[in-house]
A and B are shown apart, each in its own frame.
Chain A
Amino acid sequence: MKVFLTRSRVRSVATTLAVALTLTLAAAAGCDSRQEPQIPSVKETLSKTHIYGQPTLKIGVSTTGPLMGELHGGTYSGFDVEIARYIAAQLGYEGDKRIEWVPVATEDRIPALQGGAVDLVVATFSMTEEREKLVSFAGPYLVTTQEAMVPTRLKDKIHTIEDLRDPRYKVCTSGGSTTEAELGRHQIRVFVVKEVGDCVEGILAGRYDAVSSDETILAGFLSKHPKDFTIIDMPFGTSEQIGVGVPISDPALRDLVAFFLDKSYQQGRKGLSSPWLTAYHQTLGPWLRAPKVQPPPLKVPELVDFDDKAPR
Chain B
Amino acid sequence: MTAPPVTGADADAGTQTPRLGEARHLDERRARASQSFWTAVVAVPAVFSVLRLGVEAGGELQTTLLLVANVGPVNLLAGFLTTAARLLSTGLVAVFALGAVLGVSVDRLPGYRRPLFARWADITPAWFVVASYLLALITWPLLYLPLLLPAFAAAFQLRPDRLHDLPVARVLIVSALLGGYLVLLTPALLDAWQQRELLVLALFVVPPVLALGIAGPLPGAVIRPLASATEAAVLVMLVWAALPVISTPVLPLTVTTVQAGSGATEDVRGHVVVVDDVNMVLLQEQGGVRYVPIDQVKAQVLCPSEEELPRHRLRVHDFHVEDSLLEGLGRRVRPLHRIDAACRAMG
A14: chain B residues within 8 A (beta carbon): 213, 216
| Contacting residue for B216 out of A11, A21, A32, A92, CB 8 A | A11
Contact B322 A309 (CB under 8 A): yes
Any B CB within 8 A of the CB of A93 = yes
By beta carbon, the residue of chain A nearest B159 is A11
**CA A200 – CA B224 in complex, angstroms?**
91
Q: Which listed residue, B218, B240, B241, touches A19 by the CB 8 Å rule?
A: B218
Is the C-beta of B115 less than 8 angstroms from some C-beta in chain A?
A: no
Known A25-B207, A29-B147, A93-B345; contact A19-B338, beta-carbon cutoff 8 A = no
Interfacial residues of chain A within 20-41, with CB under 8 A of chain B in the complex: 21-23, 25-30, 32-39, 41
**Closest residue of chain B to A29, judged by CB?**
B144
Would you give the 0/1 interface string for B240-278, flagging 1 where the beta carbon is closer than 8 Å to chain A?
A: 110010000000000000000000010000000000000
Q: Shortest CB–CB separation between residue B209 and chain A, in angstroms?
A: 9
Is A48 an interface residue when CB atoms closer than 8 A count as contact? no
Per the bound structure, the CA–CA distance linking A309 and B144 in Å amounts to 16
B342 at the interface (CB under 8 A from A): yes
Residue of chain A at shortest CB distance from B211: A18
Judge whether A249 is part of the interface by a CB distance below 8 angstroms: no
Question: Contact check: which of B244, B306, B338 meets A43 at CB < 8 Å?
Answer: B306
State which of B101, B151, B344, B346 has its C-beta within 8 Å of the C-beta of A15: B101
The answer to whether B203 and A25 touch across the interface, beta carbons within 8 angstroms, is yes
Q: Indicate if the CB atoms of B331 and A310 lie closer than 8 Å.
A: yes
Give every chain B residue within 8 A of A89 (Cβ-Cβ).
Answer: 341
Is A23 in contact with B309, judged by CB distance below 8 angstroms? no
Q: How far is the CB of A307 from chain B (nearest CB, A)?
A: 4
Q: A91 and B344: CB pair below 8 A?
A: yes
What residues on A are CB-neighbors of B143 within 8 Å? 29, 32
Residue-wise interface mask of A (1-18) relative to B, using a CB-CB cutoff of 8 A (1 in contact, 0 not)? 000000001011111111
Q: Which residues of B contact A157 (CB under 8 A)?
A: none
A side interface size, CB within 8 A: 51
Determine if A305 and B216 form an interchain contact, defined as CB atoms under 8 angstroms apart.
no
Contact residues in B for A308 (Cβ distance below 8 Å): 310, 313, 320
Contact partner of B341 (CB less than 8 A), chosen from A36, A38, A94, is: A94
Contact status B339-A306, CB under 8 Å: yes
Contacts of B56 in A (CB 8 A): none
With both chains docked as a complex, state the minimum distance between the C-beta of B220 and any C-beta of chain A, in angstroms: 9
Closest 5 CB pairs of A and B: A92-B345, A92-B344, A94-B341, A18-B214, A14-B213
Binding site for A on B (CB under 8 A): 94, 98, 101, 141, 143-144, 147, 150-151, 154, 199, 202-203, 206-207, 210-219, 222, 226, 230, 233, 237, 240-241, 244, 265, 304, 306, 308-311, 313, 315, 318, 320, 322-323, 327, 331-332, 335-347
Binding site for B on A (CB under 8 A): 9, 11-19, 21-23, 25-30, 32-39, 41-43, 46-47, 52-53, 89-94, 97, 302, 304-312
